Structure 1
């Protein structure tokens, strides 16, 4: 059994590209140096996360124990219960000890009733001071959380069985298409239609602003804005619909959503319980682009990635977003640094290489001379640095002007770059990007664009070989060298501030990434971070780390 994933057999890796990507002849010493520096930057952050918990981590643990539903105002019962425990005894010891102590003292007959009574102030919580009572409460909590993890294990096994029976898409890259109307019942037929038209991965983008909600909405929703709310019922409905169309098409269609924001651990948990296949889960996206507190984000991220590792979910990281605020040429090395950090944080939390859908994007100004050659260099650099990762290649957005003909051509160049450099997951670009929410006809045209390039140039990876020391190799080496320089600068300059400083957090606070300054003592959700007591207990974390079933 793997101590990281809790599985008895090695995880199933997605099919590799037909041919390996062209070599860039990178200096292996420079590559090793980059990973060494990323580890040095990441280790203090991980150590910090091990000494803290958050309200969302505690709520996710209760969800694993089966607590669901919401009151008449749609406030989830997990929120009520965690808030009540925090108000009375704090969360320093974890939520499960006082909760299962209360159940053992018959404050309520079951977890749901306890949460309902707690919301009315009718439960007295405590931290047992007798060793026998403390041990009994923790043993009961572990027994209650275990079925949730076993459900995640069963869902993973179901995915493996369906892939074996139905098969994976016949070619790489996987074609990834976004569907999100705001109404889950409208999303479903659109998603099925997209799968029939050739999409391999359906992403249901979240409603605008959900990442800033400190609760997960309940039930099926029909009122999202520029997206559809991520809820357990919406996950279930879409998974059921894609299973249906998978059987029709004879290939397994994957489902993606977003595990980010203030409820990252809870959404990751719900994704595991409902068998989602991919989740957007970046180490710094919420910090930089949603002003969520850095400490809250890193604590939540580690738990969510432990869940993803257990569930066999592929994460997608958000490096493409850096290039929407910073110049794609000047800031190319910050993308590489972020990819290295996401790799470290992901593998530390138990993710295998085949689960690291590291992100990068086609965002260089097309009016710049040699822009396509530079895009090839950046894409090849990512492919060679992370050969076993299912890289997610993002289409142009920043320089889409509203000229749909030019936009369609840019998307074609993007698709060609993806084929030439052996990318794994190709997000479908839309010619109406930045103009309107795409129509079904826009998606059809975009998928035709992808299919033409894949059919006409799908084997081009075998033939494309940048000349030694030519433009592409030189540019890739330059970006890698600048990434190493930045990692060394962060390690040296921020580390010089004293033993109590965490260099990566200092760099985030200084605006090193994406030109956003996000200090560690500010940002949304900071009040939801709790320093653990010496006897903190969380059975979910314990079982995830030891691989228990």
Structure 2
């Protein structure tokens, strides 16, 4: 409502901070009260008399510092809890809950933590990434997932803290800041001490048809917030392999990892918070397919030695045969522990049948724990044959990725996406959702959080 009022008054190019700061000086009220008065039609925010720019900035700086300090204390609290409680060994065991009802999610998340999960991700309800606002309050209905709201974040964080004390290790909470509200959801996560966020520079524009200019602007600010909050981002390269062939398109995954890394560095996000994504998605009927998967997992680990790599399970070739599926997941787990992956999104034996039940998660966690423990140091004990199948596979993928990156450097990222080079999906630079929210900065535009979060207050 507040932003709509700014748009109606033709003031969007100055940004929200300018208008809110001006209204604070004029009315003597805080941002919440001002927003409520705008909603009731008592204030037309762009028609208030213009105040002194220095005073406006000082007023906004004051309240911005309070928020930044709250986020900083959350980060310190997380570090303290990890020091006190400890945490699971890597690869961290990552599972998903997605009932639609936050209270049911809490029951399932706590059960998963007791079974051995280290990270709980609460998938968002279908289509939330296309909403240009964030719903409010605790929610009990969703489709294929649960609404991401600040209250839902708070409830789940408290529940995982409680079960973490019980099991004697810190349980991380993950949600999703992709779509039309990347910075908003990143901010909510930072305020409620989430630990991980799905946050890809290209995912929204490729797979949700969010306008590419909007996505690249939003991913920057969302990553500034995540970087400051100590939140590990997870990128979405695994999605390319669901729409494209995992053997032929492997180089696009690596190229995207390099792109995501550079966008993250520009936003002040350190390597230790870059959960660059890749996936175990080759056709199980491919001869020597496991060697190719192992080669690519090892390649990713060697190229990004400091990144907490996020490894995604087989889904595309899961048929509903639970016995074969369990074996596919076992090979995936073996590849992960051998190559030193960091974040392991567990595959479910009932993939392609239904949303996981409690017992499905239990069996998948047991599978991972057995293999991670039984083959803990396997990777340190083996070397790869010179000029063998695996070394040659890694070299081919790296060479093809370099060629694609050179092409992007020559033609530009937007043009490469228009040609469908990532995931076989073509998008236009003026197409998709959210372009009307992209405007050139006006002379009074300022964002107080970027200098505070990128500056010496980290």
Q: Distance in 1 between matches of 2:316 and 2:216?
A: 28
Equivalent residues, number: 458
Task: Describe the superposition over 1:392-444 as per-residue Cα deviations: whole angstroms up to 9, x where unpaired.
Answer: 11110000011111111100010011111111111111011111111111111
- CA–CA distance in structure 1, aligned partners of residues 44 and 112 of structure 2: 52
Q: Deviations over 1:365-406 (max 9, x none)?
A: 010111100001111111110001000111100000111111
The aligned counterpart of 1:189 is 107
1:213-228 counterparts in 2 under 5 A?
213-228=131-146
Aligned residue for 2:11? Answer: 90
Measure how far apart 1:129 and its partner are: 8.7
Residue 189 of structure 1 and its aligned partner are, at CA, apart by 1.2
**Which of 57, 61, 64 is 1:138 aligned to?**
57
Q: CA deviation at 1:310?
A: 0.5
Q: Contact 2:5–2:44 at 8 Å: present in 1 too?
A: no
Q: Which residue of 2 aligns with 1:114?
A: 34
Deviation of residue 249 (structure 1)?
1.2
Q: Tell me how large the CA RMSD over aligned residues is.
A: 1.4
Structure 2 length-normalised TM: 0.97
Q: Spell out, residue by residue over 1:478-518, the C-alpha distance to the aligned partner (whole angstroms, 9 max, x if none).
A: 100000011112222x2xxxxxxxx0011111111011111
**Distance between the aligned counterparts of 2:9 and 2:203, measured in 1?**
34
- Highest relative contact order (Cα 8 Å, sep 6+), 1 or 2? 1
The whole-number CA distance in structure 1 between the counterparts of 2:112 and 2:454 is: 38
Offset at residue 309 of structure 1 (A): 0.7
Alignment partner of 1:156 is 2:65: no
Q: 1:519 aligns with which of 428, 437, 445?
A: 428
Q: CA deviation at 1:267?
A: 0.3
Residue 541 of structure 1: how far off its partner (Å):
2.0
Structure 1 counterpart of 2:449 = 540
SS in 2 for 1:104: helix
Q: CA deviation at 1:126?
A: 4.0
Answering whether residue 407 of structure 2 is matched by residue 489 of structure 1, we say: yes
Please report how far the alpha carbon of residue 448 of structure 1 lies from its aligned counterpart in structure 2 after TM superposition.
Answer: 1.2
Question: Alignment partner of 2:205: what SS?
Answer: helix
Q: The residue matched to 2:9 in structure 1 has which SS?
A: helix
Deviation at 1:291, TM superposition (A): 0.2
Q: 5+ unaligned residues in a row in structure 2: which ranges?
A: none
Secondary structure, aligned partner of 1:83: helix
Change (3 A) 1:547 1:266: farther
Secondary structure at 1:193 match in 2: helix
- Is 1:376 the counterpart of 2:294? The answer is yes
In structure 1, how many angstroms separate the alpha carbons of the residues matched to 2:347 and 2:163? 23
Alpha-carbon distance between aligned partners in 2 of 1:127 and 1:473, rounded to the nearest angstrom:
66
Which residue does 1:206 correspond to in 2? 124
**Structure 1 CA distance for aligned equivalents of residues 36 and 152 of structure 2:** 24
- What is the correspondence of 1:314-393 to structure 2 with a 5 Å cutoff? 314-393=232-311
| Larger CA deviation: 138-147 vs 321-330 | 138-147
Is the CA contact (8 Å cut-off) linking 2:232 and 2:275 kept in structure 1? yes
Separation in 2, partners of 1:518, 1:489: 17
In the aligned structure 2, how far is the partner of 1:141 from the partner of 1:318? Answer: 35
- Say which SS state the counterpart of residue 14 (structure 2) adopts: coil
- Tell me what 2:21 maps to: 100
Q: Secondary structure at the match of 1:177?
A: strand
Q: Does 1:234 align with 2:152?
A: yes
The match for 1:530 is: 439
Q: Any idea what the Cα deviations from partners look like across 1:45-67, whole Å, max 9, x if unmatched?
A: xxxxxxxxxxxxxxxxxxxxxxx
Q: Which whole-Å deviations, capped at 9, do the CAs of 1:80-132 have from their partners, x for residues lacking one?
A: 111112211422111111222122112x73322321221243323348997x7
* Contact kept in structure 2, 1:510 and 1:519, CA below 8 Å: no
SS in 1 for 2:15: coil
Given that 1:127 and 1:134 are in contact with CA atoms closer than 8 Å, whether structure 2 keeps it comes out as no
**Partner Cα separation in structure 2 for residue 277 and residue 363 of structure 1:** 26
Q: Counterpart of 2:180 in 1: which secondary structure?
A: helix
Q: Write the distance in 2 (CA, Å) between the matches of 1:435 and 1:281.
A: 28
Aligned partner (choices 339, 356, 359) of residue 438 of structure 1: 356
The corresponding residue for 1:43 is: none
